[in-house]
Amino acid sequence: MRLKIALAFVVLLLASALTSANASAAGTSYYVDCSAASGGSGTQASPWNSLATVNAHGFAAGDRVLFARGVTCAGQLKPSGSGTAAAPITVDAYGAGSSRPVVAGGGTVYAAIHLYNVQYWEIRGLEVTNQGAAVAERNGILVELADFGTGSHYVVDNVYVHDVNGGDTKNSNGIQFRVSGTTTPTHFNGVTVENSEIYRVDREGLTTSSSWGCRAIYACTSGPVWTANTGIVFRNNRIHDIGGDGIVLRIGADAVVEHNTAYDIWMRSAGNNAGIWTINSDRTLVQYNEVYRVRRPCCNDGMAFDSDGGNRGVIFQYNFSHDNEGGFVLFCGCSSGWSTSGTIVRYNLSINDKSRILYAAGESAAQIYGNTFYIPSGSSTKVIEDNGSASTKATWTNNVIYNLGTGGYDQVANHVFRGNLYYGNHPSSEPADPYKSIANPLLAAPGSSTPDGYKLGPGSPALRTGLNLVGSSPTDYFGGPVPAACRPDVGFHQRSTFDDTACAGTNLIPAGVFESVKLGPAPASAEQVVTVQPSTTYVLSGWGRVSAYDTEIVIGAKAFNGTSEVRAPSFVNTTWRGGSVTFTTGPSATTAKVYCFTRAGAGFGYCDDLSLTRQSP
């Protein structure tokens, strides 16, 4: 009898739970239909009918908040409660058809959707607006942590954010992940924004920000210590008609910004803006993006990409930039005390960008290789414009510079040029390059509007004439393999086939030398004399890293042709990166001296796996 009563009681409890909301093992589903005449209990049959009701509820792991398709909810969605790694809380749509549910802030709230000090949330399938009668600081979706510690797992997928008339301030965004507060070190760990559209918003489109950004390379010695946001992925988003910046990644480590399309950028702001850029961040990877029609109504910027102040090890690769008024890329360690270093720009295509290809405003160890830059007839675009505020040092290798315009190069003495192809007009400022070519690269259809038009054609002099670059990308812009031992093609397209096994040479450095070498503080070096052949071209390669961001280590060769000396680009990252440099011995040379050299800083430099081989044919 007690068993029957107990079973009946359990059935009664389950029935009661299902009448208040639709429950499942993973949590409870709550339904919201703001067109309903009266507020219900949150079931599909009796939905809630206001955002206030949603905000008053404390959600738990696995819960789902489902909004009716085609219905607008006015006000602010600011829910409470957190999910778990196994059971995040999800906001999504329900009902027939494809119309989105709309959350309309109406300009009366700071953010139409505001997640504050919660974690393990996913927002999918919504339309979000926050248009006010007058311009003011406001946002579409704001995810904020204040003195929270680590906030984990945030997904924004397939949302449409538009018509947010924010003020001309970087706290006005379509979507922003913001860290505020100054007492508890706080950061995001795991953010994905994908498959979404951001349209007609001011000032910025999709961004991160943090109050925890103080470190020496950002000219800060006192304040909330740099605490990087991690696991940030902005992928496959369409961002357009933006008042200021398109995508900005601030205070992050190892973020990925990929497969986004950004256009009609800097439409209304009075400040400096760019398409996609990063600042005070480590190892941001920006790849497979298309950026076009960034305006430059005033000021300095207006380019597609920017490695800004306080960055280390940013990589821009496989991107397509065209028709941007401020050019292709900016290096900007340009404020007093800022240090930006180790930026890599590789296997990108720039067509018809205005003003300049590179706006040089401060970078101490950049590498620009394997790109194709097309400047049309009648253009005054410079290949390098130097703004004079801070020294920029970059190594340019294996690039096709197809310059039919009149623009030249500023401050070439600060840069190194090796193995580039310069075709078209040759301004007097064109740099010296010991391995240069000026032949027609025989592009498929130069002047066309798609990347295929800039592939190398049959018989191109760019085929198999590039210099070897250890640690380079394994693929070209189109995803084709790039050789490691054989000589690559010049430009963003690897047309030639190759057999790296056949091209591999014998290492002339004795075994055991330059294995896990630790050198520092600066100046400190390790050297080795090796036997070489006269009038022969060699490739010195190896790997390096540093213990601190004030430190640089280089590998190089000297005494191979009188007093000649060459160095690979400096290693400035705390993670291992490869590097190489090509040199040709003198007609009577029999030896050369190769070295690792910690040339700056109070930390230690490390080099490993140095190799000296003859360049393959």
Task: Report the CATH number that the domain containing residue 555 is assigned in CATH.
Answer: 2.60.120.260
> What pLDDT shows up at residue 17?
42
> What pLDDT shows up at residue 21?
53
Q: What is the rounded distance in angstroms from the CA atom of residue 570 to the CA atom of residue 372?
A: 24
What average pLDDT does the segment 552-570 reach?
A: 97
pLDDT at 615 over 50: yes
Shared domain for 238 and 376, answered yes or no, is no
Flag whether 596 is in a domain. Answer: yes
Domain count within the chain? 3
Cα–Cα separations (whole angstroms), residue 196 to 72, 261, 476, 486? 19, 11, 27, 41
Shared domain for 589 and 539, answered yes or no, is yes
* Mean pLDDT (the chain, rounded): 95
Flag whether 109 is in a domain. Answer: yes
pLDDT tens-digit readout, 210-239: 999 999 999 999 999 999 999 999 999 999
Is-cis flag, bond preceding 521, omega within 30? Answer: yes
pLDDT at 547 over 80: yes
C-alpha angle with apex 256: 265 to 363, nearest 5 degrees? Answer: 75
Find how far residue 516's CA is from the centre of its chain: 30
Q: Which two tokens stand for residue 354?
A: 């205005």
CB 25 within 8 A of CB 49: no
| Residue 86: how many other CB atoms lie within 10 Å | 9
Flag whether 236 is in a domain. Answer: yes
pLDDT at 250 over 50: yes
Shared domain for 222 and 351, answered yes or no, is no
Q: What is the rounded distance in angstroms from the CA atom of residue 453 to the CA atom of residue 460?
A: 14
pLDDT at 577 over 90: yes
The secondary structure of the chain in percent helix, strand, coil, rounded to multiples of 5, reads 5, 45, 50
Shared domain for 180 and 254, answered yes or no, is yes
Flag whether 441 is in a domain. Answer: yes
Shared domain for 388 and 459, answered yes or no, is yes
pLDDT at 113 over 80: yes
pLDDT tens-digit readout, 17-76: 444 455 444 799 999 999 999 999 999 999 999 999 999 999 999 999 999 999 999 999
Shared domain for 188 and 310, answered yes or no, is no
Tell me the torsion sign for CA atoms 159, 160, 164, 170.
positive
> What pLDDT shows up at residue 374?
99
**pTM of the full structure:** 0.95
DSSP state of 430: P
Q: What is the rounded distance in angstroms from the CA atom of residue 569 to the CA atom of residue 259?
A: 29
Q: Which residues contact 75 (CB under 8 A, 6 or more apart)?
A: 50, 51, 52, 104, 105, 106, 108, 109
Flag whether 78 is in a domain. Answer: no
The last residue of a domain, from among 504, 527, 543: 504
pLDDT at 240 over 60: yes
What average pLDDT does the segment 205-212 reach?
A: 99
Q: How confident is the model at residue 6 (pLDDT cuts 50, 70, 90)?
A: very low
Shared domain for 321 and 376, answered yes or no, is yes
The last residue of a domain, from among 461, 479, 504: 504
Shared domain for 126 and 185, answered yes or no, is yes
Shared domain for 257 and 352, answered yes or no, is no
Q: What phi and psi, each to the nearest 5 degrees, are found at residue 148?
A: -105, -25
What average pLDDT does the segment 85-97 reach?
A: 98
CB 604 within 8 A of CB 519: yes
Q: Which two tokens stand for residue 126?
A: 């919504």
Shared domain for 533 and 475, answered yes or no, is no
> What pLDDT shows up at residue 2?
35
> What pLDDT shows up at residue 26?
76
> What pLDDT shows up at residue 5?
37
Helix (H) or strand (E) holding 345: strand 344-346
pLDDT at 150 over 70: yes
The last residue of a domain, from among 473, 504, 535: 504
Residue span of the structural domain in which 547 resides:
517-614
Q: Which residues contact 17 (CB under 8 A, 6 or more apart)?
A: 23
Shared domain for 110 and 245, answered yes or no, is yes
Shared domain for 494 and 601, answered yes or no, is no
Flag whether 7 is in a domain. Answer: no
Flag whether 584 is in a domain. Answer: yes
Residue 597's DSSP bridge partners are 525, 554
Q: How confident is the model at residue 14 (pLDDT cuts 50, 70, 90)?
A: very low
Flag whether 18 is in a domain. Answer: no
